[in-house]
């Protein structure tokens, strides 16, 4: 199962030198964010609880196993490169926060969130790790497997987002508003990361990378039917962004609800579907 929008790569045009302390510091920072992101894979437990169908339950179960493997795999990378993880940046913590409201969780964590994770693994890590280091080919092989699995997670998020919008067409407005917020906030992420004190030539390409990620997000939003072909005017954008804020605020008080104990019979094909 692949994503509905092919994600074009971004060329950083440089590789790190693992003997250089500055390069090691930068790599350690990026890997530490990835390690934290994978640790949030435990959220799959809540997703399994909130699964609305057997198909969703099967997916979250499979995802939980994969995310746990990713977490251990990143820990192995730290050990093999003799790096010590540092705490995650507050922006990463904010972006990877769990949302109990299922439709927002599906869009923000799976479709958009894991899409950006894939961009970082494929366009940053796979490119900047130096091929001339004997430890790297094995690490890259493992990372390629992680990328393939992240693609599956994005594809699920996209499929489930479209299903949710079919059931509740009004979701398109707050979803579109979330995309507009991401367009507005993504450059701030580049700014925040640029200010964290690591001075490196690769970081100079960060604003261009963030711009490329934004373009991919926009295309993904179009393919999902969240945004029209042409960007609407400011009043429509503000309307959608207000919806997004209201729904996000509402989601902060949402509780996970289980569904399978109510619809398991219809899910198993025993009785007509429950309304």
Q: Which residues bind Fe ion (CB under 5 A)?
A: 38, 67, 70, 114, 150, 153
Distance (Å, whole) CA 186 – CA 211: 8
Whose structure tokens read 């746990």? 68
Q: How far is the CB of 58 from Fe ion (least distance, A)?
A: 16
Q: How far is the CB of 63 from Fe ion (least distance, A)?
A: 6
Distance (Å, whole) CA 202 – CA 267: 50
> Judged by CB, which is closer to Fe ion: 67, or 123?
67
Helix axes 260-267, 54-80, angle to 10 degrees: 110
CB 247 within 8 A of CB 104: yes
> Judged by CB, which is closer to Fe ion: 35, or 241?
35
Q: How far is the CB of 81 from Fe ion (least distance, A)?
A: 19
In 103-121, which positions are buried (b, 16+ CB within 10 angstroms) versus exposed (e)?
bbbbbbbbbbbbbbbbbbb
Q: How far is the CB of 40 from Fe ion (least distance, A)?
A: 9
Q: How far is the CB of 184 from Fe ion (least distance, A)?
A: 25
Whose structure tokens read 């309307």? 239
> Judged by CB, which is closer to Fe ion: 18, or 64?
64
**CA nearest neighbour of 104 among 141, 62, 50, 59:** 50
> Judged by CB, which is closer to Fe ion: 67, or 267?
67
Q: How far is the CB of 111 from Fe ion (least distance, A)?
A: 11
**CA nearest neighbour of 259 among 69, 71, 56, 43:** 56
Distance (Å, whole) CA 86 – CA 83: 9
> Judged by CB, which is closer to Fe ion: 115, or 177?
115
> Judged by CB, which is closer to Fe ion: 98, or 204?
98
In 59-86, which positions are buried (b, 16+ CB within 10 angstroms) versus exposed (e)?
bbeebbebbebbbebbeebbeebebebe
Distance (Å, whole) CA 61 – CA 59: 5
């Amino acid at each position: 199962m692949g994503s509905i929008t092919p994600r074009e790569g971004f060329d950083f045009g440089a590789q790190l030198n693992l003997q250089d302390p500055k390069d090691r510091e930068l790599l350690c920072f990026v890997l530490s964010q990835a390690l934290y992101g994978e640790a949030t894979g435990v959220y799959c437990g809540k997703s399994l609880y909130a699964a609305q169908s057997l198909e969703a339950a099967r997916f979250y179960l499979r995802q939980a196993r994969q995310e746990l493997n990713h977490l251990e795999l990143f820990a192995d990378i730290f050990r093999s490169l003799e790096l010590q993880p540092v705490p995650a940046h507050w922006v990463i913590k904010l972006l990877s926060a769990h949302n109990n409201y299922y439709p927002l969780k599906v869009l923000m964590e799976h479709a958009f969130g894991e899409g950006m994770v894939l961009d970082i693994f494929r366009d940053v890590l796979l490119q900047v790790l130096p091929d001339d280091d004997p430890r790297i080919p094995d690490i890259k092989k493992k990372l390629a497997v992680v990328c393939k699995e992240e693609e599956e997670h994005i594809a699920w998020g996209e499929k489930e987002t479209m299903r949710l919008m079919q059931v509740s067409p009004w979701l398109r407005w707050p979803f579109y508003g979330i995309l507009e917020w991401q367009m507005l906030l993504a450059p701030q992420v580049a700014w925040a990361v640029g200010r964290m004190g690591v001075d490196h030539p690769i970081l100079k390409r960060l604003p261009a990378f963030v711009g490329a990620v934004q373009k991919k997000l926009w295309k993904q939003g179009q393919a999902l039917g969240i945004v029209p072909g042409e960007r609407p005017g400011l009043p429509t954008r503000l309307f959608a962004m207000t919806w997004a804020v209201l729904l996000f605020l509402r989601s902060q008080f949402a509780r996970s609800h289980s569904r399978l104990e109510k619809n398991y019979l219809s899910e198993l094909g025993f009785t007509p579907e429950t309304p």
